[in-house]
Protein backbone atom coordinates (compact mmCIF):
# COMPACT_ATOMS: atom_id res chain seq x y z
CA UNK A 1 0.00 0.00 0.00
CA UNK A 2 1.52 3.33 -0.99
CA UNK A 3 1.05 6.33 1.27
CA UNK A 4 1.47 9.72 -0.25
CA UNK A 5 1.67 12.92 1.90
CA UNK A 6 1.31 16.35 0.51
CA UNK A 7 3.75 18.89 2.04
CA UNK A 8 3.18 22.62 1.76
CA UNK A 9 5.39 24.47 -0.61
CA UNK A 10 8.46 26.24 0.82
CA UNK A 11 8.64 29.94 1.35
CA UNK A 12 10.63 30.27 -1.80
CA UNK A 13 7.98 28.45 -3.80
CA UNK A 14 4.92 30.28 -2.33
CA UNK A 15 3.66 33.23 -4.31
CA UNK A 16 1.91 35.75 -2.05
CA UNK A 17 -0.92 37.88 -3.26
CA UNK A 18 -0.11 41.55 -3.71
CA UNK A 19 -2.04 43.70 -1.23
CA UNK A 20 -3.24 46.94 -2.77
CA UNK A 21 -4.79 49.64 -0.54
CA UNK A 22 -8.33 50.63 -1.23
CA UNK A 23 -8.71 53.73 -3.32
CA UNK A 24 -9.16 57.06 -1.49
CA UNK A 25 -12.72 57.91 -2.24
CA UNK A 26 -14.27 61.35 -2.09
CA UNK A 27 -16.26 60.35 0.99
CA UNK A 28 -13.10 59.44 2.98
CA UNK A 29 -11.39 62.66 1.90
CA UNK A 30 -14.32 64.73 3.15
CA UNK A 31 -14.30 62.89 6.51
CA UNK A 32 -10.59 63.65 6.99
CA UNK A 33 -11.08 67.34 6.30
CA UNK A 34 -13.95 67.50 8.75
CA UNK A 35 -11.84 65.82 11.46
CA UNK A 36 -8.95 68.27 11.05
CA UNK A 37 -11.34 71.21 11.18
CA UNK A 38 -12.88 69.98 14.44
CA UNK A 39 -9.57 69.31 16.25
CA UNK A 40 -7.35 72.23 15.19
CA UNK A 41 -8.28 75.90 15.58
CA UNK A 42 -8.24 78.09 12.57
CA UNK A 43 -5.46 80.69 12.34
CA UNK A 44 -7.62 83.76 12.56
CA UNK A 45 -6.54 87.37 13.25
CA UNK A 46 -7.96 87.11 16.79
CA UNK A 47 -5.91 83.97 17.54
CA UNK A 48 -2.74 85.55 16.16
CA UNK A 49 -3.26 88.69 18.27
CA UNK A 50 -3.74 86.59 21.42
CA UNK A 51 -0.49 84.71 20.73
CA UNK A 52 1.49 87.94 20.28
CA UNK A 53 0.05 89.38 23.51
CA UNK A 54 1.05 86.24 25.43
CA UNK A 55 4.60 86.38 24.16
CA UNK A 56 4.87 90.00 25.24
CA UNK A 57 3.68 89.07 28.74
CA UNK A 58 6.36 86.38 29.02
CA UNK A 59 9.12 88.73 27.92
CA UNK A 60 8.03 91.47 30.36
CA UNK A 61 7.61 89.07 33.34
CA UNK A 62 9.09 90.80 36.43
CA UNK A 63 9.32 87.92 38.96
CA UNK A 64 5.93 88.42 40.57
CA UNK A 65 6.47 92.17 40.95
CA UNK A 66 9.26 91.68 43.53
CA UNK A 67 11.56 94.73 43.47
CA UNK A 68 15.18 94.04 42.57
CA UNK A 69 17.54 94.36 45.56
CA UNK A 70 20.17 97.04 45.59
CA UNK A 71 23.40 95.60 44.19
CA UNK A 72 25.62 97.80 46.37
CA UNK A 73 27.13 95.95 49.35
CA UNK A 74 26.99 98.59 52.06
CA UNK A 75 27.11 98.32 55.85
CA UNK A 76 23.36 98.11 56.36
CA UNK A 77 22.98 95.35 53.77
CA UNK A 78 25.80 93.33 55.32
CA UNK A 79 24.50 93.69 58.88
CA UNK A 80 21.00 92.80 57.73
CA UNK A 81 22.29 89.68 56.03
CA UNK A 82 24.23 88.69 59.15
CA UNK A 83 21.13 89.16 61.29
CA UNK A 84 19.16 86.75 59.09
CA UNK A 85 21.89 84.10 58.85
CA UNK A 86 22.43 83.25 62.52
CA UNK A 87 23.74 79.75 61.78
CA UNK A 88 26.60 80.95 59.62
CA UNK A 89 29.70 80.77 61.85
CA UNK A 90 31.81 82.82 59.48
CA UNK A 91 29.31 85.68 59.47
CA UNK A 92 28.91 85.42 63.24
CA UNK A 93 32.67 85.83 63.55
CA UNK A 94 32.54 88.95 61.37
CA UNK A 95 29.72 90.39 63.44
CA UNK A 96 31.51 89.88 66.77
CA UNK A 97 35.02 90.68 65.59
CA UNK A 98 36.72 93.63 67.30
CA UNK A 99 39.12 95.48 65.03
CA UNK A 100 39.40 98.57 67.18
CA UNK A 101 42.83 97.65 68.60
CA UNK A 102 44.28 96.05 65.48
CA UNK A 103 46.09 97.79 62.63
CA UNK A 104 44.26 98.33 59.38
CA UNK A 105 44.96 95.98 56.50
CA UNK A 106 47.57 98.01 54.70
CA UNK A 107 50.34 97.14 52.27
CA UNK A 108 52.90 97.29 55.12
CA UNK A 109 50.87 94.84 57.24
CA UNK A 110 50.62 92.41 54.33
CA UNK A 111 54.34 92.73 53.66
CA UNK A 112 55.18 91.99 57.31
CA UNK A 113 52.91 88.94 57.26
CA UNK A 114 54.49 87.64 54.05
CA UNK A 115 57.96 88.11 55.51
CA UNK A 116 57.36 86.55 58.93
CA UNK A 117 54.24 84.37 59.19
CA UNK A 118 53.32 83.28 55.67
CA UNK A 119 53.96 79.60 54.87
CA UNK A 120 53.27 78.25 51.35
CA UNK A 121 50.55 75.61 51.14
CA UNK A 122 52.94 72.93 49.89
CA UNK A 123 55.18 73.47 52.92
CA UNK A 124 52.20 73.38 55.29
CA UNK A 125 51.10 70.04 53.84
CA UNK A 126 54.60 68.62 54.21
CA UNK A 127 54.83 69.78 57.83
CA UNK A 128 51.43 68.28 58.62
CA UNK A 129 52.42 64.93 57.10
CA UNK A 130 55.57 64.93 59.22
CA UNK A 131 53.59 65.69 62.37
CA UNK A 132 51.15 62.84 61.69
CA UNK A 133 54.05 60.47 61.08
CA UNK A 134 55.69 61.35 64.41
CA UNK A 135 52.39 60.81 66.20
CA UNK A 136 51.85 57.48 64.47
CA UNK A 137 55.34 56.35 65.51
CA UNK A 138 54.62 57.22 69.13
CA UNK A 139 51.32 55.34 69.07
CA UNK A 140 52.88 52.30 67.40
CA UNK A 141 55.90 51.93 69.65
CA UNK A 142 54.20 52.94 72.88
CA UNK A 143 50.74 51.39 72.56
CA UNK A 144 50.32 49.20 69.48
CA UNK A 145 49.00 46.35 71.63
CA UNK A 146 46.47 48.56 73.39
CA UNK A 147 42.78 48.98 72.51
CA UNK A 148 41.60 52.05 70.64
CA UNK A 149 41.11 54.10 73.81
CA UNK A 150 44.60 53.21 75.04
CA UNK A 151 46.22 54.27 71.77
CA UNK A 152 44.35 57.56 71.73
CA UNK A 153 45.36 58.14 75.35
CA UNK A 154 49.05 57.97 74.40
CA UNK A 155 48.38 60.37 71.52
CA UNK A 156 46.53 62.54 74.01
CA UNK A 157 49.63 62.81 76.22
CA UNK A 158 51.76 63.83 73.22
CA UNK A 159 49.25 66.50 72.23
CA UNK A 160 48.90 67.69 75.83
CA UNK A 161 52.65 68.25 75.91
CA UNK A 162 52.64 70.04 72.55
CA UNK A 163 49.94 72.39 73.86
CA UNK A 164 51.79 72.94 77.14
CA UNK A 165 54.39 75.66 77.58
CA UNK A 166 56.70 73.18 79.30
CA UNK A 167 57.42 71.21 76.12
CA UNK A 168 58.09 71.84 72.41
CA UNK A 169 55.09 73.21 70.52
CA UNK A 170 55.13 70.59 67.74
CA UNK A 171 54.26 66.89 67.75
CA UNK A 172 57.66 65.87 66.39
CA UNK A 173 59.39 68.17 68.88
CA UNK A 174 57.60 66.41 71.76
CA UNK A 175 58.11 62.86 70.47
CA UNK A 176 61.82 63.27 69.72
CA UNK A 177 62.72 65.65 72.54
CA UNK A 178 66.33 65.01 73.71
CA UNK A 179 66.73 62.22 71.15
CA UNK A 180 70.04 63.79 70.22
CA UNK A 181 71.39 63.51 73.78
CA UNK A 182 72.27 59.85 73.45
CA UNK A 183 70.74 56.40 73.81
CA UNK A 184 67.88 56.13 76.32
CA UNK A 185 68.13 59.80 77.28
CA UNK A 186 65.04 60.91 75.40
CA UNK A 187 61.42 61.24 76.53
CA UNK A 188 60.20 58.17 74.62
CA UNK A 189 62.52 55.16 74.56
CA UNK A 190 61.92 54.22 70.93
CA UNK A 191 63.11 57.67 69.80
CA UNK A 192 66.69 57.06 70.94
CA UNK A 193 67.17 53.28 71.11
CA UNK A 194 69.13 53.13 67.86
CA UNK A 195 66.44 51.20 65.99
CA UNK A 196 64.19 52.18 63.12
CA UNK A 197 61.20 54.27 64.14
CA UNK A 198 58.99 52.91 61.33
CA UNK A 199 56.52 50.16 62.17
CA UNK A 200 57.21 46.65 60.90
CA UNK A 201 53.90 44.99 61.78
CA UNK A 202 51.69 46.07 58.91
CA UNK A 203 48.32 45.70 60.60
CA UNK A 204 49.43 47.47 63.78
CA UNK A 205 51.19 50.18 61.77
CA UNK A 206 48.15 50.90 59.62
CA UNK A 207 46.04 51.14 62.75
CA UNK A 208 48.53 53.55 64.31
CA UNK A 209 48.37 55.72 61.20
CA UNK A 210 44.59 55.79 61.45
CA UNK A 211 44.69 56.76 65.13
CA UNK A 212 47.27 59.44 64.35
CA UNK A 213 45.05 60.95 61.64
CA UNK A 214 42.15 61.12 64.06
CA UNK A 215 44.16 62.65 66.91
CA UNK A 216 46.08 65.07 64.70
CA UNK A 217 42.81 66.37 63.25
CA UNK A 218 41.81 67.39 66.77
CA UNK A 219 45.22 69.00 67.32
CA UNK A 220 44.89 71.07 64.14
CA UNK A 221 41.58 72.42 65.42
CA UNK A 222 43.21 73.41 68.70
CA UNK A 223 41.55 70.50 70.50
CA UNK A 224 42.58 67.13 71.98
CA UNK A 225 41.26 63.56 71.73
CA UNK A 226 39.72 63.97 75.19
CA UNK A 227 40.42 60.41 76.35
CA UNK A 228 42.35 61.64 79.41
CA UNK A 229 42.46 65.05 81.18
CA UNK A 230 44.27 67.93 79.48
CA UNK A 231 46.67 68.09 82.42
CA UNK A 232 47.97 64.51 81.93
CA UNK A 233 51.59 64.73 80.78
CA UNK A 234 53.08 61.44 81.97
CA UNK A 235 52.36 57.70 81.88
CA UNK A 236 54.03 54.36 82.47
CA UNK A 237 53.11 50.72 81.98
CA UNK A 238 51.69 48.63 84.81
CA UNK A 239 54.80 46.45 84.61
CA UNK A 240 56.95 49.14 86.26
CA UNK A 241 56.65 51.56 89.18
CA UNK A 242 58.94 54.56 88.59
CA UNK A 243 59.83 56.79 91.53
CA UNK A 244 58.33 59.87 89.90
CA UNK A 245 54.85 58.22 90.00
CA UNK A 246 54.67 59.10 93.72
CA UNK A 247 55.29 62.75 92.90
CA UNK A 248 52.42 63.25 90.43
CA UNK A 249 48.67 62.73 90.66
CA UNK A 250 47.19 59.64 89.04
CA UNK A 251 44.33 60.63 86.74
CA UNK A 252 43.57 57.56 84.61
CA UNK A 253 44.38 53.91 83.99
CA UNK A 254 43.67 52.55 80.51
CA UNK A 255 44.79 49.13 79.39
CA UNK A 256 48.36 48.56 80.52
CA UNK A 257 49.13 52.28 81.06
CA UNK A 258 48.67 54.57 84.04
CA UNK A 259 48.48 58.32 83.41
CA UNK A 260 49.55 61.18 85.68
CA UNK A 261 49.16 64.91 86.01
CA UNK A 262 51.43 67.40 87.75
CA UNK A 263 48.52 69.11 89.54
Split at pLDDT 50, 70, 90, the class of 251 is very high
- For position 45, what pLDDT does the model report? 76
Q: For the residues 43-51, what does the mean pLDDT come to?
A: 75
- For position 44, what pLDDT does the model report? 73
Mean pLDDT check: name the lowest of 40-54, 137-151, 167-181, 188-202.
Answer: 40-54
pLDDT exceeds cutoff 50 at 132: yes
Choice between 54 and 173, residue whose per-residue pLDDT is larger? 173
Report the chain's mean pLDDT, rounded to a whole number. Answer: 78
Query: What architecture is the 121-229 domain classified under in CATH?
Result: Orthogonal Bundle (1.10)
How much of the chain, in percent, has pLDDT values that exceed 90?
42
Name the pTM for this structure: 0.56
pLDDT tens digits for range 173-197: 999 999 988 888 899 999 999 898 9
Q: For the residues 107-111, what does the mean pLDDT come to?
A: 69
Read out DSSP for the chain?
Answer: -----PPPPPTTT--PPPP-PPP--HHHHHHHHHHHHHHS----HHHHHHHHHHHHHHHT--TTTPPPPP----HHHHHHHHHH-TT-HHHHHHHH---TTS----HHHHHHHHHHT---HHHHHHHHHHHHHHHHHHHHHHHTTS-HHHHHHHHHHHHHHHTSTTS-SSHHHHHTTTGGG-TT-SSSGGGGSSS--S--SHHHHHHHHHHHHHHHHHHHTT----SS-TTEEEEEETT---GGGGTSEEEEEETTEEEEE--
pLDDT exceeds cutoff 90 at 148: yes
- For position 49, what pLDDT does the model report? 78
Neighbouring residues of 94: CB distance < 8 A, sequence distance ≥ 6: 82
How much of the chain, in percent, has pLDDT values that exceed 70?
67
Split at pLDDT 50, 70, 90, the class of 257 is very high
- For position 12, what pLDDT does the model report? 46
Domain boundaries along the sequence of the chain: 121-229
Mean pLDDT check: name the lowest of 88-102, 189-203, 207-221, 235-249.
Answer: 88-102
- For position 248, what pLDDT does the model report? 93
Choice between 87 and 199, residue whose per-residue pLDDT is larger? 199
Split at pLDDT 50, 70, 90, the class of 30 is confident
- For position 143, what pLDDT does the model report? 95
Amino acid sequence: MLLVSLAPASAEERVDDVVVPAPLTQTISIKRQQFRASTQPQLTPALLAAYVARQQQIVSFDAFDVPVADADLNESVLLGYIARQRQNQALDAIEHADFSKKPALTADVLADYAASDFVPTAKRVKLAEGERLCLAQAIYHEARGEPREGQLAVANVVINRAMSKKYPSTICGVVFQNADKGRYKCQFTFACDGRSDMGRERTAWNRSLQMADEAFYEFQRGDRPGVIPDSALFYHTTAVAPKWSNTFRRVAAIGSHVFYSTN
